[in-house]
Structure 1
Amino acid sequence: MNTIYYLASCDTCRKIIKALPEGHNLVFHDIKQDPITEEQLDEMYQLSGSYEALFSKKAQLYKSLGLKDKALTESDFKKYLLEHYTFLSRPVFIIDGAIYIGNSQQNILKVHNALRNV
């Protein structure tokens, strides 16, 4: 099952979704309305190899909780990812067993190419 984990209230996510190729057949998962489970996070971890790769250091809570001044471990990143949706670097696509994390132009181009080949 090809999935996008996103935030419906995020303008960047909405813009990316609107530009997706037609007939993409993605399952949409709004992480605010339906928080990610530990099982889903573990799947993302298996594909990415790191909780830190899934973690958004741009999140306002990252700064306000003083996390930027701490040496976080992989278990810390996992804990925070499960505690609050804002820590997930968005959007996250899982397409044909590959993971695409974040909204960089290069990443979104890879997503478009992957969706065209599905």
Structure 2
Amino acid sequence: MRVYGLKTCDTCRKALKSLEGSDFIDVRAQGVPDAVLAQALKRFGEALLNTRSTTWRGLDAEQRKKEPLELLQEHPTLMKRPLVEKDGALYLGWTAETQAALGVG
């Protein structure tokens, strides 16, 4: 299982605590593989973009018009977190639904 997020994100830390033994990928330092981003975008659509983030607010209107995949490749911190990959399935956020699907919580 892989958890994509930020090491400074409280929600990501909570997820990691519950998902012992998972691999953590800090998207700021390591990025997200293009194949994973494409799969996540197909599954979650624009919900994958965190439009309430500081990074989003720092973008100008022209940058915000870019395709979501391009934006996430350029600014991986725009991704809602955490993104959990388990057995080829993806889960977004640390909601009760995600926790139930992963058998934790």
TM-score by length of 2: 0.76
Q: Which has the larger radius of gyration?
A: 1
Map of 1:99 onto structure 2: 90
1:14 aligns with 2:13: yes
Q: Give CA deviations for 1:1-59 in whole Å, capped at 9, x if unaligned.
A: x22111111122112322x15xx54222111221112222123234x152x12111111
> Which ranges of 4 or more aligned residues in structure 1 deviate by more than 6 Å?
none
Percent of aligned pairs with the same amino acid: 28
Unaligned runs of 5+ in 1: none
Map of 1:110 onto structure 2: 97
Aligned residues: 102
Task: Give the 5 Å matches for 1:10-89.
Answer: 10-18=9-17, 20=18, 25-46=21-42, 48=43, 50=45, 52-67=46-61, 72=65, 76-89=67-80
Distance 1:49 1:86 in 2: 16
Structure 1 residue 100, shift from structure 2 partner: 1.5
Letter in 1 for 2:56: Y
Q: Give CA deviations for 1:80-105 in whole Å, capped at 9, x if unaligned.
A: 100012101010112233322124xx
TM-score by length of 1: 0.69
Letter in 2 for 1:112: Q
Cα 1:95–1:110, aligned 2, differ >3 Å: closer, same or farther?
farther
